[in-house]
């Protein structure tokens, strides 16, 4: 926090030394002061697969008549990479299934989740908050609805879910502006 040399003004208006902001952006291209993302964030998610299908005659509770989108994430077992906490250590594969209503908002969230997945942001390898296990594939702070049953902790209805997940994706640098125009 001395004299700023070779100043760079970010889109958010904050000013930093060019060398300082260049070094920081190697970890996360976001303003250290306000968190505004000014680049593309690439995470450390292990290699895996994301697929989705539509069930036309099964709805998410509270979104009747739309059907539902079923997202399936699959990760085979493997070894941690250089960006992980224990490079070379074994991790066990997982499959996770999630649900969105097949309405305009659900399809937008799906498109944003696909972008986040391609950028390796949806999962990471770390410590599980639910089991306490270390070195496992875990969610990376982007909430998903994993229970199709109504009124459960990870199910519908949840009136604030769409806005919450959009905010979580925005923190990772994924917004509706990133969705390709059709």
Q: What is the CATH number of the domain that holds 150?
A: 3.30.390.130
Poorest-pLDDT segment among 5-14, 30-39, 69-78, 137-146: 30-39
How would residue 170 be classed by pLDDT, with cut points 50, 70 and 90? very high
Asked if 17 and 72 sit in the same domain, the reply is: no
- Cα gap 154→147, rounded to integer Å: 5
How would residue 2 be classed by pLDDT, with cut points 50, 70 and 90? low
Higher pLDDT, 57 or 1: 57
Confirm whether 133 is domain-assigned.
yes
Asked if 21 and 68 sit in the same domain, the reply is: no
Query: What's the total number of domains in the chain?
Result: 2
Taking 70 as the threshold, does the pLDDT of residue 39 lie above it?
yes
* 157 sits in which H/E element: none
Higher pLDDT, 28 or 176: 176
Poorest-pLDDT segment among 1-5, 36-40, 127-131, 135-139: 1-5
Asked if 111 and 161 sit in the same domain, the reply is: yes
Higher pLDDT, 8 or 107: 107
Q: How large a percentage of the chain has pLDDT more than 70?
A: 98
Asked if 21 and 91 sit in the same domain, the reply is: no
CATH number at residue 12: 3.30.40.10
Asked if 13 and 94 sit in the same domain, the reply is: no
pLDDT of residue 80: 94
Contacts of range 48-52, beta carbons closer than 8 Å, 24 or more positions apart: 48/73, 48/74, 48/75, 48/76, 48/123, 49/73, 49/74, 49/75, 50/113, 50/114, 50/117, 50/122, 52/110
Confirm whether 158 is domain-assigned.
yes
Average of pLDDT values for 71-82? 96
Confirm whether 3 is domain-assigned.
yes
Asked if 78 and 119 sit in the same domain, the reply is: yes
For residue 2, CA distances in Å to 7, 35, 77 come to 12, 21, 47
Asked if 34 and 97 sit in the same domain, the reply is: no
pLDDT of residue 1: 54
Asked if 103 and 148 sit in the same domain, the reply is: yes
Confirm whether 44 is domain-assigned.
no
Asked if 128 and 62 sit in the same domain, the reply is: yes
pLDDT of residue 116: 97
CB 58 within 8 A of CB 71: no
Average of pLDDT values for 132-147? 92
Confirm whether 140 is domain-assigned.
yes
Confirm whether 154 is domain-assigned.
yes
Q: How large a percentage of the chain has pLDDT more than 90?
A: 58
Asked if 33 and 63 sit in the same domain, the reply is: no
Asked if 73 and 1 sit in the same domain, the reply is: no
pLDDT digits (tens, 9 = 90+) for 77-136: 999 998 888 999 999 999 999 999 999 999 999 999 999 999 999 999 998 888 888 899
Q: What is the pTM of this model?
A: 0.85
Asked if 78 and 129 sit in the same domain, the reply is: yes
Q: Range of 59's domain?
A: 49-178
Confirm whether 5 is domain-assigned.
yes
């Amino acid at each position: 926090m001395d004299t700023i040399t070779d100043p760079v003004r970010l889109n958010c208006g904050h000013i930093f030394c060019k060398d300082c902001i260049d070094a920081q952006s190697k970890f996360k291209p976001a303003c250290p002061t306000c968190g505004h993302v000014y680049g593309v964030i690439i995470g450390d998610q292990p290699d895996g697969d994301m697929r989705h299908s539509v069930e036309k005659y099964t709805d998410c509770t509270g979104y009747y008549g739309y059907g539902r989108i079923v997202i399936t994430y699959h990760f085979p077992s493997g070894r941690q990479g250089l960006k992980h906490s224990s490079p070379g250590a074994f991790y066990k594969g997982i499959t996770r299934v999630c649900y969105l209503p097949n309405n305009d908002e659900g399809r937008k969230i799906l498109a944003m989740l696909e972008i986040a997945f391609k950028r390796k942001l949806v999962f990471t390898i770390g410590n599980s908050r639910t089991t306490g296990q270390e070195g496992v594939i875990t969610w990376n702070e982007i909430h998903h609805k994993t229970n199709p049953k109504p009124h459960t902790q990870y199910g519908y209805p949840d009136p604030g879910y769409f806005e919450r997940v959009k905010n979580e994706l925005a923190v990772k640098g994924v917004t509706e502006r990133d969705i390709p125009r059709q």
